[in-house]
Chains A and B, each alone.
Chain A
Amino acid sequence: MAKYLLLKHYRGAPAAVNDVPMDQWTPEEISAHVTYMDDFAERLKETGEYVDSHALSPEGTFVRYDGEGRPPVTDGPFAETKDVIAGWMEIDVDTYERALELAGELSAAPGAGGEPIHEWLELRPFLSTAPTITE
């Protein structure tokens, strides 16, 4: 088993095929999309491959230490060019191929016109703990 993160981006990923902002869809298309996402997660729970998922607010701030006794420095909201994560789903699957298959399925969620969005998702393997047997 190996864990993977499926990352969805607000910005920073290549443009989707069906690239229409959600507020330009019809309410029915939004409902169809939400249902698809819920069903997808539900199916992974049934197969025992679902770990966790979360959506993130598009807003974020860069923060860093600015020396003893000084408040941290902040920078942001992010500039328009920066990569912005919209949310993630963590899955635990047997093979890389299975992870690819699931990411492809998620990317096919319906968007404007009820057509698949073909959105680019980022698939990132987790670094695992060290195995006991190494030889």
Chain B
Amino acid sequence: MSSPVDEALLRSLTPGVLGILVRRGADFAAAEDAVQDALVEAVRGWPEDPPRDPKGWLVTVAWRKFLDATRADTARRRREGLVEEEPRPGPAPAVDDTLQLYFLCAHPSLTPSSAVALTLRAVGGLTTRQIAQAYLVPEATMAQRISRAKRTVSGVRFDRPGDVATVLRVLYLVFNEGYSGDVDLAAEAIRLTRRLAAVIDHPEVAGLLALMLLHHARRAGRTAPDGSLVPLAEQDRGRWDTELIAEGVEILQAALARDRLGEYQAQAAVAALHADAPTAEETDWVQIVEWYDELARLTDSPVVRLNRAVAVGEADGPRAGLAALADLTGSSPGPAAGGHGRRLPRATAAAAYLHERAGDLATAARLYADAAREAPNLPERDYLTRQAARLNTRRRG
């Protein structure tokens, strides 16, 4: 019997191998294909014949794949009368290869979905099939998305630092997608963000990592055995992962101490305050409101102001929360004209919750039913329908 390939090891080596090929002069798209081919060969061959130096093996095989492909390509072009120069060796790297890969895969010329797919493949070492399964699209569609993305960034210089904010946005998107198929995207996002934090010293990278760890820590408490959503206040806090919380808090504190606040640190601070409360009742809502005030200054997003209104409802009572919500949504929440996508998601659900706490069960039940119709996903819709049903049952009984 042969042992299965250590996929985690294989994938952790991917960006380094790719970086070496690009530094040797391979263009990014061809190098990336060659590395994928080498990974496939490793999965096939390593169980029988494990290499002593896995990274060296991958570089050798990937480089050979690259040369084979280039020769075939050059021969074809020569036949077609379109001879081109051999690629010249690139300039010496000014920044870490892995970091450059993150920048390239999150390049601003890419759409978010392309940047996500390219990051998962080139930096994460996932196969196109795994990425396709995770995002529930056909493999051919994902293959096309990735190859278009590679073409889009083919002219980008590999030796110049990019904008770390674009990288963080991509990683945040990967984390927030949850997971389906055999790839756990949340865990993958954490792995990639850890890796990024290891090659760049930036408080917002630390902030995003802390944010992910603190939310990931709650994962076991977030769903009931039947798959339904459990809201924060009702979660069994004994099921939260205390090790992840401790790590997240430590990373966050170190980042905050540097006094360069950003939106991810502020969001992580909110998550840390929830993690810190032994029971929902002991949550420090006053401090949470303050962090939402910071966040509103940093981003001024309507989502932040909605969350702030809910926090105000907890800190100063439901009437105050409803007033904050009214400032945000105009007169009343509920179905807005103009179809899907125009209104603020979850504003109706927040209003329903605040009305219930204020004792107006009839309005709350009606708003929960409205919110269920607006829900962006099935677990939330089921949860909100149950809330409406619970209140209607209580009012009848």
A contact residues vs B (CB 8 Å cutoff): 21-27, 29-31, 34-35, 38, 55, 57-61, 74, 76-77
Query: Which of these, B228, B373, B378, B389, contacts A55 with CB under 8 Å?
Result: B378
Given A59-B339, A59-B340, A61-B339: A30 touches B226 (CB 8 Å cut-off): no
Name B396's closest neighbour in chain A (CB-CB).
A24
Total CB contacts across the A-B interface at under 8 A = 54
The answer on a CB contact under 8 Å between A24 and B389 is yes
Residue of B375, B376, B390, B393 with highest tally of chain A CB at under 10 A: B393
Interface residues in B, total, Cβ within 8 A: 24
Given A58-B373, A59-B340, A74-B339: A23 touches B368 (CB 8 Å cut-off): yes
Given A61-B340, A76-B339: A30 touches B389 (CB 8 Å cut-off): yes
Please give me the 10 A-B residue pairs with the lowest Cβ-Cβ distance, nearest first: A23-B388, A61-B339, A23-B369, A59-B340, A27-B386, A26-B393, A27-B389, A27-B390, A25-B389, A22-B385
B contact residues vs A (CB 8 Å cutoff): 226-228, 335, 339-340, 365, 368-369, 372-376, 378, 381-382, 385-386, 388-390, 392-393
The answer on a CB contact under 8 Å between B339 and A77 is yes
By a CB distance below 8 angstroms, the chain B residues around A25 are 389
Task: Give Cα A60 to B335, complex, Å.
Answer: 12
B367 to chain A, nearest CB (A): 11
The answer on a CB contact under 8 Å between A22 and B340 is no
A37 to chain B, nearest CB (A): 11
B109 to chain A, nearest CB (A): 25
Query: Which of these, A22, A31, A61, A76, contacts B226 with CB under 8 Å?
Result: A31
Question: What would 10 more interface pairs be, CB under 8 Å, given A23-B385, A57-B376?
Answer: A23-B389, A27-B386, A34-B226, A34-B228, A38-B227, A57-B373, A58-B373, A60-B339, A61-B339, A77-B340
B385 to chain A, nearest CB (A): 5
B68 to chain A, nearest CB (A): 37
By a CB distance below 8 angstroms, the chain A residues around B382 are 30, 34
The answer on a CB contact under 8 Å between A24 and B386 is no
Task: Give Cα A29 to B385, complex, Å.
Answer: 11
Residue of B378, B381, B389, B390 with highest tally of chain A CB at under 10 A: B389
